[in-house]
Amino acid sequence: MPVRLVRLHWLGLLPVLAIWGCALARVLVDPTPHLPILFNWTPSLPYTVALLHYGHPPILQRGDFIVYAFAGDAQRRYPGLRAQPFFKQVTGIPGDRVTVMGRQVFVNGVSMGLAKPTTFDRHPLNPIAETVIPPGYYYVQGAHSDSFDSRYRESGLVPMRQVIGKVTPLF
């Protein structure tokens, strides 16, 4: 193969390597979103595009959508989850009671769904412990039954200090 073709081949790979480098930096160095537009590619919520309002809102209400930096126990097994932005809906606020019957989780008597026994790669998952949600913490949930949310002890309640901002779903 002529030297010129080899150089062209490597030059063609540079954009791919640059994209992969940026993606790795985003995941490993600074996973916090820096743009006001969010794209949700997972089935955890029915929205694909949303507007992020940065900063801690004075108070979150049941039904609000938020983005928060993940800080649950699962980051021990999956270090890539550390501070990853999660896009969920607030379904439990301070003072609400979380109860568990078997693997079925409830907030104030309303079913939040079933806590699955294992992760997709067969690691055990535990339902959240029964509690009254303390001040400054929130129970969050995705719309999909496979969403990794507050149903699981490994994810847990979300402290307000982890909230990146409130979200307005666009579509």
Separation CA 63–CA 94 (nearest Å): 14
Structural fold of domain 35-169: Umud Fragment, subunit A (2.10.109)
Which pair of structure tokens corresponds to residue 156?
């847990």
The pLDDT of residue 49? 80
Domain borders along the chain are 1-30, 35-169
pLDDT computed for residue 17 by the predictor:
65
Beta-bridged to residue 104, according to DSSP, are 101, 114
Global pTM reads 0.76
Q: Where are the alpha helices (DSSP H) in the chain?
A: 3-28
Integer Cα distance of 74 and 76 in angstroms: 5
For the stretch 5-38, pLDDT in tens is 555 566 666 666 666 665 555 555 544 555 677 7
pLDDT along the chain (171 residues), means of 10: 58 66 53 64 72 81 92 84 87 98 98 94 94 98 91 96 89 79
pLDDT tens, residue by residue, 148-159: 999 999 999 999
Position 41 scores a pLDDT of 73
- The β-bridge relationship of strands 131-132 and 163-169 is unpaired
